[in-house]
Every structure is written in structure tokens, then in C-alpha cells.
Amino acid sequence: MLNRTITRADIIRALTKEVGLSQSDCAEVLEDVLGEIAGCLAKDEPVRITNFATLSVRHKKARMGRNPKTGEEAPILPRKVVKFRPSGNLKLKVNASSKQQRQPLMTNLKDDPTDIADYLIRGNGIDGAFQKSSEGVTKAQKDGDNYALSVWREVKTILRNKKAGPEGPES
């Protein structure tokens, strides 16, 4: 296991190798992307990077805290914090090593949420597929299986998006 932090320079080198642009061009692209993300967050706008994560700003209220060393009470001022919420796909990738020792949730589908959603639609229609995915979530919660729970939640999200169609969610 690699116990090293990935830096901007590492990302720039990987981009240069993958895309074929110069390091300075890749550095400029990375800075533009990070600047855009930071700018949106500074304006309290959430940032959703599909299949990776959602970043949002959370407002924390003022409260009284305690100095752990002295036990003295001290006010903590209101502030903003960035919340990172990983996508189901990111959770699956992070937990991929545990996936190798387990049985697939559905035979021959390799726990790919998109494949499972398509399989359920073919056999049950969209409403039946949604019901089956809800049953999968309930069973995973009951069994305490966090991996299965993340897969079934991602399947449910995919089905919800397919049901809504390209126009967006139904009113």
C-alpha cells in the first residue's frame, strides 16, 4: 500500500502523461479547475463532480467551547466549513479490496450499479426495478452490510434518474 500524499505536482505529471500537453499547460488547467471550485464554494454554491463527490459549504453557528488544557470556557465564532460527500462510485472504488472477498450481489453483474439497474429494469420494468432496489437497501441495512448498502443506494439513484428522464425529476 502506498502511504504517500498525492500533490499538485503529481497530478500535473499524470495529466501531462495522459493528455500530452506541457506541464505548464496542465498546471494552468489544474489551477483553473481548482479556482473554479473554490470560487463556487466561496459563493456558497455546491459543486457536484459526477462519480466523484459533492462539495458544499456548511454554516456553523457560534457556540461555547472549552479549552481542553485549562477547562476554561471560550466562545467559538460562527464559521463556514467545506463538506465533502463522496459519490457511491467513489465509495465502491475505495472499498474495492473488500469486494474481492465477497460474493456478488447479483450473479454475473460484478456489483456494477449501472448493470444491476439495467438488469432490474429488463426483468421488472422501471417501477418494479425501483421496488427491488428499495428491498436491496432495506436488506443491506438490516444485515449491516455497508458495501451492499452503497451499491444498492447507487442503483436506486440511477433508477431515479432514468425514471425522471432527460427533463429532470417529475413534479
Q: 145 and 120, same structural domain?
A: yes
Q: Is residue 171 part of a domain?
A: no
Q: 120 and 154, same structural domain?
A: yes
Q: 139 and 101, same structural domain?
A: yes
Q: Is residue 170 part of a domain?
A: no
Q: 142 and 108, same structural domain?
A: yes
Q: 139 and 124, same structural domain?
A: yes
Q: How many domains does the chain have?
A: 3
Per the CB < 8 A criterion, the answer to whether 141 and 131 are in contact is no
Residue 76: its pLDDT value, please? 94
Q: Is residue 159 part of a domain?
A: yes
Q: 132 and 96, same structural domain?
A: yes
Supply the range of the domain harboring residue 60: 51-85
Per the CB < 8 A criterion, the answer to whether 23 and 12 are in contact is yes
Q: 36 and 79, same structural domain?
A: no
- H or E segment at 46? none
CA 80, CA 44: separation in Å to the nearest integer?
Answer: 9
Q: Is residue 108 part of a domain?
A: yes
Which of 67, 85, 103 is at the close of a domain? Answer: 85
Q: Write the CATH number for 76.
A: 4.10.520.10
Residue 142: its pLDDT value, please? 82
Per-residue pLDDT of the chain (171 residues), as tens digits, is: 457 899 999 999 999 998 889 999 999 999 999 999 999 999 999 999 998 999 999 999 999 999 999 999 999 999 999 999 998 888 888 877 655 555 555 555 566 788 888 888 888 888 888 888 888 888 888 887 787 888 888 888 888 888 777 665 544
C-alpha separations of 32 from 14, 22, 28, 69, 83 in Å:
17, 15, 6, 42, 21
Per the CB < 8 A criterion, the answer to whether 170 and 164 are in contact is yes
Q: 102 and 72, same structural domain?
A: no
Residue 74: its pLDDT value, please? 94
Is 2 exposed, middle or buried (CB count within 10 Å of its CB: 0-12, 13-18, 19+)? exposed
Residue 102: its pLDDT value, please? 53
Return the amino acid letter for 50: T
Q: Is residue 56 part of a domain?
A: yes
